[in-house]
C-alpha cells in the first residue's frame, strides 16, 4: 500500500477540509505523481494563495509558501528565477487563480515560465462562504448571485492555451488515476504547465439551486466527462454539456527564464 505519510506533515493533521471535499483526492494524486517521478522533497517548492485548496501545502512536507490572495504565481516565479533547479508547483483555486490572480495567470502563461499550476475549480469561493467565482456557470446560484449568475464563465484551459502555455490538461476528482498521470506529465514539461481539476465543494456549491452532495458531484463528473481522443470524433451537439478531459495542449515553446539568460549573455558580449 502506498505510504502517503512520508510526504505529509502528520503533526498538521487532521486537515481542515469538510467531509466529501475533493481537495484531499487532489493532494493524494499530487503526492503519487511526485513519488512516481522520484522528485526529492527538498527540490520541490509548493506555493499557494488563499482559499480551501491553498491549505494543501501546509500538509505536504516539501518547501512550502502560503502567500496572499491571488498572488501564488508571482511568488512561484520568483523562486524559479532564483532557483531554477527547483520543481515549482502552484496550488490555487478558481477564485484565487483567475479572479484576483487572473493577470498573473495569463502573463506567466504568456511568458511560458517553467512552473506547474494545479488549479482546483469548484465554481465557488468555498473558504469565504460560497460566493460566485469567475468559472461559475450562467444560471448558477451563490450567495452573491441569489437570482442566478448572468456572467459568462472563464474556460480556464482555453485561457491558458490562448495565453501561451506549453502544457494544458483537465481532469476531475472522479478520475484520480488519470489525475496522477496528468500531474506527472505537467511536472515533466518544460514551460508553463496547467492542470485544471474539477472538484466538489459539497458545503457551498449550489449549482442550479440546491446543494449537491459529494457523491452526486462525483457521479456528475463521471457521466459528463469525455476523454480528449473520444471528443475528437464527436459533434458539437454531442459535446454540449460535456467536459473534455486529458491533455488538451502539449507543445514546445521558448521558456522565458532561458530566454532571459540568453539575453543577458548577448548584452554582456556587447
**Shortest distance, position 12 Cβ to ligand SF4, whole Å:** 15
Q: Let me know: does 203 contact 18? Beta carbons within 8 Å.
A: yes
* Integer angstrom CA distances of residue 244 from 98, 197, 237, 238: 20, 11, 14, 12
Q: Distance between CA atoms of 169 and 109, rounded to whole angstroms?
A: 14
Q: Is 126 in the site for ligand SF4 (CB under 6 A)?
A: yes
Nearer to ligand SF4, 23 or 184 (CB): 23
Cα dihedral across residues 138, 230, 170, 189: positive or negative: negative
Q: Segment near ligand SF4 (CB under 6 A), from 37-45, 111-119, 122-130, 247-255? A: 122-130
In the complex, what is the shortest distance from the CB of residue 117 to ligand SF4, in angstroms, rounded to a whole number?
18
Cell numbers that stand for 231 in this block: 471528443
Q: Which is nearer to ligand SF4, 127 or 165 (CB)?
A: 127
- Least distance in angstroms from the C-beta of 231 to ligand SF4: 28
Stretch 209-268 residues interacting with ligand SF4 (CB under 6 A): none
* Residue 243: its H or E element: strand 243-250
| Binding of residue 127 to ligand SF4 (CB under 6 A) | yes
Pairing of strands 243-250, 167-172: antiparallel
Q: In whole angstroms, how close is the CB of 91 to ligand SF4 at the nearest point?
A: 13
Shortest spacing between CB 59 and ligand SF4, in angstroms: 13
Bin 74: left if φ > 0, else alpha if -120 < ψ < 50, else beta: alpha
22 in Cβ contact with 173 (< 8 Å): yes
Q: Which is nearer to ligand SF4, 56 or 67 (CB)?
A: 56
Quickly count: other Cβ atoms within 10 Å of residue 227's Cβ: 13
Distance from C-alpha of 253 to C-alpha of 21, rounded to nearest angstrom? 36
Binding-site member from 52, 62, 90, 245 for ligand SF4 (CB under 6 A):
52
Q: Does 122 bind ligand SF4 (CB under 6 A)?
A: yes
Q: Which of 87, 92, 163, 203 binds ligand SF4 (CB under 6 A)?
A: 203
Contact with ligand SF4 (CB under 6 A): which of 204, 225, 245, 247? 204
- How many positions of this chain bind ligand SF4 (CB under 6 A)? 12
The grid coordinates of residue 270 equal 556587447
Chain residues in the site for ligand SF4 (CB under 6 A): 17-18, 21, 23, 52, 122, 126-127, 201-204
Amino acid at each position: 500500500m502506498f505510504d502517503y505519510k512520508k510526504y505529509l506533515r502528520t503533526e498538521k493533521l487532521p486537515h481542515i477540509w469538510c467531509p466529501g471535499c475533493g481537495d484531499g483526492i487532489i493532494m493524494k494524486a499530487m503526492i503519487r505523481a511526485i513519488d512516481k517521478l522520484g522528485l526529492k522533497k527538498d527540490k520541490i517548492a509548493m506555493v499557494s494563495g488563499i482559499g480551501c485548496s491553498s491549505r494543501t501545502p501546509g500538509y505536504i512536507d516539501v518547501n512550502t509558501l502560503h502567500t496572499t490572495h491571488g498572488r501564488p504565481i508571482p511568488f512561484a516565479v520568483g523562486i524559479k528565477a532564483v532557483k531554477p533547479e527547483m520543481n515549482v508547483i502552484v496550488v490555487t483555486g478558481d477564485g484565487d487563480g483567475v479572479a484576483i490572480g487572473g493577470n498573473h495567470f495569463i502573463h506567466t502563461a504568456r511568458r511560458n515560465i517553467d512552473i506547474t499550476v494545479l488549479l482546483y475549480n469548484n465554481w465557488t469561493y468555498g473558504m469565504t462562504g460560497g460566493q460566485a467565482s469567475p468559472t461559475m456557470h450562467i444560471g448558477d446560484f451563490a450567495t452573491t448571485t441569489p437570482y442566478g449568475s448572468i456572467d459568462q464563465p472563464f474556460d480556464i484551459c482555453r485561457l491558458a492555451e490562448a495565453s501561451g502555455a506549453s502544457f494544458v490538461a483537465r481532469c476531475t476528482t472522479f478520475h484520480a488515476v488519470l489525475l496522477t498521470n496528468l500531474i506527472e506529465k505537467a511536472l515533466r514539461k518544460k514551460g508553463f504547465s496547467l492542470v485544471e481539476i474539477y472538484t466538489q465543494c459539497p458545503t457551498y456549491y449550489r449549482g442550479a439551486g440546491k446543494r449537491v452532495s459529494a457523491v452526486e458531484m462525483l457521479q456528475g463528473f463521471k457521466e459528463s466527462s469525455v476523454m480528449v481522443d473520444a471528443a475528437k470524433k464527436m459533434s458539437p451537439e454531442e459535446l454540449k454539456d460535456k467536459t473534455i478531459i486529458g491533455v488538451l495542449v502539449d507543445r514546445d515553446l521558448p521558456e522565458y527564464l532561458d530566454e532571459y539568460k540568453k539575453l543577458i549573455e548577448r548584452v554582456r558580449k556587447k
